[in-house]
Structure 1
Amino acid sequence: MTAKRWIDACHFGDCRLLMARMAADGVQAHTVVTSPPYYGLRSYLPEDAPNRQHELGLERTPREYVDRMVDVFRHVCNLLVEDSTVWLRQLVVRIKAQCGKNGGGQAVSMTVAAVTCPACGAPMRRIKGSRGYFWGCSAFRDGCRATLRDVDGVAVQAHG
């Protein structure tokens, strides 16, 4: 397959294998937008699907999920040009992928972190208020009054 045949088309299968083939065919991307399956929330394949063991999000532990996501983003990095961007939507798990050439390879790191208070660093928790959900600091009783907006279960901080 040539690079052009990968563009503007849907491809089905293990994303890691597909991206490896794309890289071998010379595909390069300036932007990647993705919302990978969240850990442990649902399966998109029937129980008897032959490739179900490759489905992301069904790992036995969060650590296994993170390890598989790191592998996915190693493949993503292999497709990115030097000044590219990645848009990633992820629930609860915050993923930071660092792509760069270091001795010809790609470096990817991933961290799992709870939402932390921007004012004091304490964990934030999702709270249902009279006007809907928001995120409040767990150090409220100690005097921290920081809050974050909630958008579809994700804590959002306005940058101004």
Structure 2
Amino acid sequence: MRRPGDPATLRSCEDDQTALPAWLVAQQICDTGTVACTVDPSGNPLDLGHETRLFTARQRIALAARDGGCRWRGCDRAASHCEAHHIDPHAQGGRTDIDRGILLCRWHHRELHHGGWRIIRQGKGEFVLHPPPGRGDPIVLTPRLALRCAWADLAPPPKRFRPGA
């Protein structure tokens, strides 16, 4: 039997069974999830697992309330333009829980996966972004300033754009 994560797991297109590179499969799984199908040596399905991979709409609302948008330092993307990222890879047993997820815009989500970055969180502490080796020190990812201002009853930050001339 083949199990998810097993190097012998089938990675191919549905239409014509074209082989796909593992990095492309990993990217697609991160965006859409998987449904495990266990087969016997003859290819007969034995068990069809269930999908609990993606964050629900309610979980995404909770992430939006906590994060305020993309948590990558300096990014201004709103929560509605973000993807929920598992800080513990789901394929390696990571849970789809609010405390183990973080909002990242599509650009930074891809940068994280393809650029060698990783995010770590101890318990319910701060999210810490670790760059690839030799590219600097870890960075604490704080919630968006606008959200902190709204909750702390402080004056909002200045507008990003100037009115037209």
Task: Give the shorter-chain TM-score range.
Answer: under 0.3
Q: Which has the higher strand share?
A: 1
TM-score (norm: length of structure 2): 0.25
TM-score (norm: length of structure 1): 0.26
